[in-house]
Copies of this chain bind each other. A is one copy, B any other.
Amino acid sequence: MSVMADAPKALVFDVFGTVVDWRSSLIADFTAWGAERDLQVDWAGLVDAWRQAYAPSMDEVRKHPECGYKMLDTLHRETLEQLAPRFGIVGASEPELRYLTTGWHRLKPWPDSVAGLTRLKSRYIIAPLSNGNVALLTNMAKFAGLPWDLVLSAEIFAHYKPDPETYLGAARLLGLVPEQVMMVAAHNNDLAAAQALGLKTAFVPRITEYGPLQSRDFKAEGDWDVVAADFNALADRMGC
């Protein structure tokens, strides 16, 4: 298949779930860390509960603009402290809480992510457009070998996706109109928000993202510009 006629200049990527496998990465990281400390914790349960608190914690930021923007590291830390007692984590030290919170900086890519991104970078500007804060995304890129050209983050716009300020802010900072930017995500709702603002869209399914809890995003549910099985297939479709 040939490249679309009016190809974008930049591809911006959702990260948690789309580029990296947060669930398996965190469970493996914490399980190994806990074993060294002889901790008996349901790490999968903690990780799933932590992620379930993600959307509500961002909603709280939206509902209380008078409190200012809180970056994702801060939300993750607050949620962890709320969840810890339920999972038997009591008396954790500051370095231990910090280690767990920055687990979100140490996520592994899906097997095709680095190869696909590297190919796409040869022809397009590539950047995350994630709710992760800049330090989280930067540290993750170093850890996982993600070859971003630049890091775009909700933190820069002081708004979380799917607020319009994020998608439009990305285009503005890149000096592009929305049609010149393609949003790549494994989540139909992220693409719907981007498409409504004029961005191009690409869906890449990640059907094991939530493990046994996966309940949606098994397939494309919108009229996206591209649907590709993985990042290598996306690179094929984008002429790289």
Contacts and interface: CB of A to CB of B under 8 A. Distances in A.
Contact of A174 (B138, B141, B150, B173): B138
A104 B151 CA distance: 21
A156 B176 CA distance: 16
Interface string A141-180: 1100000111100011000000000000000011110000
Contacts of A135: 173-176
Contacts of A149: 138, 141-142, 148, 151
How many subunits of this chain does the assembly comprise? 2
A150 B155 CA distance: 14
B150 A134 contact: yes
Interface string A113-156: 00000000000010000000111111101100000111100011
Contacts of A174: 134-135, 138
**Which of A133, A134, A142, A148 lies at the interface centre, i.e. has the most chain B CB atoms within 10 A of its CB?**
A134
Contacts of A217: none
Interface residues of A, number: 21
A73 B173 CA distance: 12
A175 B125 contact: no
Given A73-B175, A174-B135, A175-B73, A125 B142 contact: yes
A238 B135 CA distance: 22
A139 B142 CA distance: 22
Contacts of A125: 138, 142
Interface of A: 73, 125, 133-139, 141-142, 148-151, 155-156, 173-176
28 contacts: A73-B175, A125-B138, A125-B142, A133-B173, A133-B175, A134-B150, A134-B173, A134-B175, A135-B173, A135-B174, A135-B176, A136-B175, A137-B150, A138-B149, A138-B150, A138-B174, A139-B175, A141-B149, A141-B150, A142-B149, A148-B149, A149-B151, A150-B150, A150-B151, A151-B151, A155-B173, A156-B156, A156-B173
Given A135-B175, A148-B149, A150-B151, 11 more contacts: A73-B175, A134-B150, A134-B174, A135-B174, A135-B176, A137-B150, A138-B149, A139-B175, A149-B151, A156-B156, A156-B173
